[in-house]
Chains A and B, each alone.
Chain A
Amino acid sequence: MLVNRKLILAHFWLAFGVFGVALTLGAWQMFIRSPIGTWLSNPELYYRSLTAHGTVMGYVFPTLVAMGFGYAIAESALEQRLVGVRWAWTGFWLIVVGSVMAVIPIALGRASVLYTFYPPLIGNLFYYLGVVLVVVGSWIWVALMSINLRVWRKAHPGAPVPLAMFANVAGSYLWAWTAVGAALELLLQIIPVAAGLKNTIDAGLARIFFSWTLHAIVYFWLMPTYIAYYTIVPRAIGGRVYSDAMARISFILFLVVAMPIGMHHTFADPQVGAGFKFIHSAFTALVALPTLLTVFTICASVEIAARLRGGRGMFGWIRALPWDNPMMLALAFSFVMLGFGGAGGLINMSYQLDTTIHNTQWITGHFHLIFGGAIVIMYFAIAYDLWPHLTGRELVDIRLIRTQLWLWFIGMIVTTFPWHWVGILGMPRRMAYFDFSDPAIAPQALSVTFSVIGGFILLASGIMFIIILARGMRAPQADAGAYRFALAVHQPTTVPVALNTHALWVALMIALTITNYGYPILNLATAAGTSVPAVYVGAQ
């Protein structure tokens, strides 16, 4: 029962619109710093572009997708009209205003601090205020998800919350809490300095606050993708979810252990001791658990679909899968990229191995493969799946859709594999150009060139994606029926309270954050003489 289609479409269109712009900037960045581009006479332009690319891809695009998808889930899984539509539009417009407010100083070169902020570098005040508005807009969504679930519970006392909504609300709570780290950094540290009220800042403390957000935000990006794995894919390919309970456990685990692990981003930092670094490393290993469980459950669910279609044998069933179905294709690509990206992630979070690749192009390759690859390809799949229900028109370009997904997959592999490789060779991140005539850097030139080709393939795929959606708005009208989610093999009639509510797990998430972050933050906040002079961007 999708009533507020306009609201959902507005979120998706804004998300994919800004995605298209940021994707173009990304391709340009890859080209301009490669051996086939010419050296940029003004490297500062590169950092404007990089700040815009990161801010859009990190904060605006995935947040809008999660919000739009979240509203769609709330209406269709709970089968009730969205409560608080006016607030939802307020949240949307806050994001629009915030994005515009942030992008103007970026374009003027007054906020080239990258989306990771990096104090004591301080950009224009309006950049930070813009980011704050985007986050505040998304918090309205968090509140609405919670309220809508509460309304449903009142009407259905004791009934199992539909899996899609259970996961969706878990994702929204995860986002609400993970954003607090960056919010504290912005409100307590950066904004007072950007506004000129103070001129010193503790850079070490800021890095710890940011690490609070920096890792769990990845799992917020991941949530729509995992929801699609569990609740859309099995339905779309004619299968069943292997286990409803295991799905709930996976989402709960993400909620609890995605948070207290961010300090694995600061292994190479001097402001935290080895003890907390080890604790965070071990907890990061733990967050592999929900992913390993998911891989099992989804593969089993897919096998069910194959066997229902007459698949036989130990591996023979793989051939029986509906490979011409875009959802099947997207899932397979997503899993391959998740596998490679996850393996790389284990290296990044490793207490010992991280030092070999920290802040090299390996890291850039890693998160593009995981986020841009495994996660975003499922955003495409979600859009394709929902589109006919939102527009009331059929998506007819199935072949084009398949080509688009193939191109995205190939493009992402061609982009990120050489990126990983030059990272191992020691190529640093975030540089506007490299002197490939230096004999020590020359061997990286070929890999970087391959990577650029991948970037252009991605750009082509991204453009195709937007064209397909735009054409879908003008296709002949067709009733797609009610939007449905996958059923489990054993659809639950009752669910234990712990797997049907979030309160306990939210409490555990907060408690673990306090044990893993409380001492380092207090320690740094109370240390004397660690504040350093701010360096204002554009003032030099």
Chain B
Amino acid sequence: MSAEDTHGSSVEVAARVERRWTAIAVIIIVAMALLAAFAGIHQATMPQPRVETTDPSRLHLSGEFVESNLGSMLEANGNVTVRAIGQQYSFTPACIVVPVDTPITLRATSADVVHGILIQGTNVNTMLVPGYISEQLMRFTRTGDYLMPCQEFCSFGHEGMWGKVKVVDKTNFANRAKAGGRLSCVGQ
């Protein structure tokens, strides 16, 4: 075998090893994307799908985010809808009350700058961008108190913007919901 042949075959081997690695890398990436697509479609785990807008300077005057409509509401089908707003530097309601083991829809927006809602110990996590409505589906499997900090910088008082979520048992919630209206921790 001449020196030229050795050189040629080593190039060939090097290229083959490289191609094999490239194939492995591509397979890893395709598998990840497919997994995400499968979970998204099959288990409906995905970020907020729809875009809804609202005028933050008129939130308090009319529409679904007027003060009297904020808080938790028991729907006819037994599900719960929670409406909340974030503003510098608090959430309204500051303490949200919801029943355990119940499908809950959180609808929230901001009255001024960008805020965020994060419920510790869960994967409930959404941005509040003024002008847009954030919607997130959630279900709590444990009763108790959860901290709900603002997770986005919203100016100098950001560090003081902490809300709370109180998860109570279903009968407790149902009893309080009998009177109608919107519930929060007030009077709890």
15 inter-chain pairs at a CB distance below 8 angstroms, sorted by A residue, are A120-B130, A243-B18, A270-B52, A274-B40, A285-B29, A286-B29, A289-B29, A358-B151, A430-B152, A430-B158, A438-B147, A490-B14, A529-B53, A530-B132, A535-B88
Given contact pairs A121-B155, A270-B127, A428-B149, enumerate 13 new A-B contacts (beta carbons under 8 Å).
A120-B113, A270-B52, A273-B49, A274-B47, A359-B116, A360-B151, A426-B120, A429-B151, A431-B149, A433-B159, A434-B159, A530-B131, A533-B112
- How many A residues, CB 8 Å from partner? 72
Shortest distance in angstroms between B74's beta carbon and chain A's nearest beta carbon? 25
A529 close to B55 (CB less than 8 A): yes
Complexed CA–CA distance, A478 and B11 (Å)? 40
B129 close to A351 (CB less than 8 A): no
Interface string of B126-150 (1 = CB under 8 A from A): 1111111111000000000101011
Interface string of A346-364 (1 = CB under 8 A from B): 1000111011101110000
Given A278-B40, A356-B123, A441-B147: A246 in contact with B18 (beta carbons within 8 A): yes
User: Does B28 touch A at the CB level, under 8 Å?
Assistant: yes
Closest to B122 in A: A426
Complexed CA–CA distance, A286 and B152 (Å)? 28
Identify whether the interface residues of B are mostly helix, strand, loop, or mixed. Answer: mixed
Q: Which of A154-162, A190-198, A199-207, A391-399 contacts B (4 or more CB under 8 A)?
A: A199-207
Complexed CA–CA distance, A268 and B150 (Å)? 13
User: Does B66 touch A at the CB level, under 8 Å?
Assistant: no
Residues of B within 8 A of A527 (CB): 53
B40 close to A112 (CB less than 8 A): no
Residues of B within 8 A of A346 (CB): 32
User: Does B118 touch A at the CB level, under 8 Å?
Assistant: yes
Q: Which of B19-27, B93-101, B176-184 contacts A (4 or more CB under 8 A)?
A: B19-27
Residues of B within 8 A of A540 (CB): 155
List chain B positions with a Cβ less than 8 A from chain A.
Answer: 11, 14-15, 17-18, 21-22, 25-26, 28-29, 32-33, 36-37, 39-40, 45-53, 55-57, 88, 109, 112-114, 116, 118-121, 123-135, 145, 147, 149-159
Complexed CA–CA distance, A43 and B49 (Å)? 36
A118 close to B53 (CB less than 8 A): no
Given A271-B51, A271-B129, A533-B56: A432 in contact with B159 (beta carbons within 8 A): yes
Residues of B within 8 A of A529 (CB): 53, 55, 131
Complexed CA–CA distance, A527 and B53 (Å)? 9
Shortest distance in angstroms between B98's beta carbon and chain A's nearest beta carbon? 17
User: Does A460 touch B at the CB level, under 8 Å?
Assistant: no
Complexed CA–CA distance, A44 and B156 (Å)? 5
Complexed CA–CA distance, A12 and B155 (Å)? 34
Of B14, B53, B116, B119, which one neighbours A530 at CB under 8 angstroms?
A: B53
Shortest distance in angstroms between B164's beta carbon and chain A's nearest beta carbon? 9
